[in-house]
DNA sequence: GCGACAG
DNA sequence: ATCTTGTCGC
């Protein structure tokens, strides 16, 4: 794993925001992901155990969505939770988990925002830029932006805007359930991001990749029945 | 000053 | 994020 844009993580909130402003200029919103060519998609999530941040990555084959690899890493928490600065709290753990990953995916889906962020550099975009790898932001709630609720049917979506700029999509991944906030992470355009998130989602609100990564991050292990689909 | 605020 | 089972509602 090579960091294209390495930078210090042990910084003050002010320095963190300054770093985001610089890295935000490196985000590529143009698409570099042909869905037909995607073979592996990875879900990334972070959980907390006492004062340790535990990052989990689960790579699934696409479009079957069968788990193909996983990795876990635990690092001491060294930054508080501050809206807009999540990457400085979870980023180090994520990078540690990616360091151990032995099956690199074509694209990462994060449980966080991409460019739908005050400085257009949410955790998904931040990781995408430092790794210079395709990434998508897929959060369960809004950080910034305005929107009108999308129709109740699965697949429906409305734009998430900030002033005149479209910063993401509010996507209904499951009929009747609360929508997800999808945004460009890095090297994936919004249309492709929305399509990929929908194609990674089955009967639940969250993409299978995110669900598995969440289970792994919070419980430390994947339920055997989740892996039953003959995988690792 | 007041309210909002990914995980 | 985390503390936590059953329960109210569509």
Look up the domain containing A183 and give its range.
Answer: 31-221
Structure confidence by residue, pLDDT tens digits, A129-186: 999 999 999 999 999 999 999 999 999 999 999 999 999 999 999 999 999 999 999 9
Q: Give nucleotides in strand C with any atom < 7 A to a protein C-beta.
A: 1-2, 10
CA neighbor of A207 nearest in space, from A84, A131, A124: A124
Three-state DSSP class for residue A22:
helix
Question: Could you give the dihedral angle defined by the CA atoms of residues A232, A226, A170 and A106, in that order, rounded to the nearest 10 degrees?
Answer: 0
Asked, for residue A207, whether it belongs to a domain, the answer is: yes
Structure confidence by residue, pLDDT tens digits, A66-96: 999 999 999 999 999 999 999 999 999 999 9
Three-state DSSP class for residue A29:
coil
Asked, for residue A231, whether it belongs to a domain, the answer is: no
Structure confidence by residue, pLDDT tens digits, A9-24: 999 999 999 999 999 9
Question: CA of A230 and C1' of B5: distance in angstroms?
Answer: 41
Question: CA of A230 and C1' of B7: distance in angstroms?
Answer: 32
Number of domains in chain A: 1
Asked, for residue A1, whether it belongs to a domain, the answer is: no
Asked, for residue A230, whether it belongs to a domain, the answer is: no
DSSP output for A75-137: EE--S---TT-THHHHHHHHHHHHHH-SS--SEEEESS-SS-STTS--HHHHHHHHHT--EEE
Q: Is the C-beta of residue A194 closer than 7 Å to nucleic acid chain B?
A: no
Asked, for residue A35, whether it belongs to a domain, the answer is: yes
Asked, for residue A169, whether it belongs to a domain, the answer is: yes
CATH number of the domain bearing residue A172: 3.30.2170.10
Asked, for residue A108, whether it belongs to a domain, the answer is: yes
Q: Is the C-beta of residue A113 closer than 7 Å to nucleic acid chain B?
A: yes
């Amino acid at each position: 794993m090579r960091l294209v844009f390495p930078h210090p993580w042990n910084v003050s909130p002010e320095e963190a925001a300054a770093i985001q402003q610089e890295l935000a200029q490196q985000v590529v919103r143009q698409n570099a992901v042909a869905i037909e060519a995607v073979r592996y998609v990875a879900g990334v999530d972070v959980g907390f155990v006492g004062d340790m941040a535990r990052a989990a990555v689960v790579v699934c084959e696409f479009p079957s969505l069968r788990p193909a690899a996983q990795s876990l890493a635990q690092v001491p928490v060294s930054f508080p939770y501050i809206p807009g600065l999540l990457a400085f709290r979870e980023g180090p753990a994520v990078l540690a988990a990616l360091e151990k990953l032995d099956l690199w995916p074509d694209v990462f889906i994060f449980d966080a925002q991409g460019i739908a962020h005050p400085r257009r550099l949410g955790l998904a975009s931040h990781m995408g830029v430092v790794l210079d790898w395709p990434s998508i932001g897929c959060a369960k709630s809004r950080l910034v932006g305005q929107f009108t609720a999308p129709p109740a049917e699965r697949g429906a979506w409305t734009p998430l805007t900030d002033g005149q700029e479209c910063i993401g999509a509010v996507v209904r991944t499951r009929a009747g359930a609360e929508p997800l906030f999808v945004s460009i992470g890095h090297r994936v355009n919004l249309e492709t991001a929305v399509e990929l998130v929908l194609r990674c989602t089955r009967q639940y609100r969250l993409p299978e990749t995110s669900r598995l990564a969440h289970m792994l991050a919070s419980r430390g292990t994947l339920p055997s029945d989740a892996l039953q689909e003959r995988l690792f």
